[in-house]
Amino acid sequence: MKRFVWRLQRVLDIRAKEEQKARAELLKLTEKLAETQSELLTWRKMLEEIINGLAVGNPKKRLGRQEFFLRYSAASDEQIKKLENRVKELESKQREKIAEVLKLRRFKEGLEKLRVEAKIQFIQEQEKLDQQQLDEGATVLFVRKTKS
């Protein structure tokens, strides 16, 4: 019996590698996003702790600390805004990468279905050819027996 060879196997292999690569990129992007979200949360938590710390304590010392906090709060707010923008940007890239991975997966799955169908057809054709050979052999044997 002949071995099954599918002409589009190379395309399927390439698409599978592309999907793997896109998944790896998505994983890196997700890790960056988680890291950035963690950093943003840390900044917010730190500011919240400072604000809560300013509310309690000696009023004379508190005024100096409040002045210091207000002086540098603009830089903190700017840092938080940058992190929020970075999170939004990463989330957008993540959505795009997810869409790309899904598109590649659907294409690859379609090719895999075509391969399965082609293999089934190949097996059926081979079985039909084998059956024809068996029938021809039986006919020849029968004719020889009847002539002798």
**For the chain, where are the alpha helices, taking DSSP H only?**
9-55, 59-147
Closest to 52 (Cα-Cα) out of 44, 60, 7, 132: 44
In angstroms, the first-to-last Cα distance of the chain is 33
Mean pLDDT of 3-32: 95
pLDDT tens readout for residues 69-115? 777 888 888 999 999 999 999 999 999 999 999 999 999 999 999 99
Q: What type of residue sits at position 111?
A: L
**Half-sphere CA count of 83, side-chain side, radius 13 A:** 17
CA 110, 112, 113, 117 torsion-angle sign: positive
Cβ neighbours of residue 30 under 8 Å, at least 6 residues apart? 94
Q: Please state which of the ranges 55-59, 94-98, 114-118, 139-143 shows the lowest mean pLDDT.
A: 55-59
Closest to 68 (Cα-Cα) out of 86, 48, 51: 51
The whole-number pLDDT of residue 1 equals 58
Q: Can you tell me which residue has the tokens 């702790």?
A: 49
pTM, full prediction: 0.74
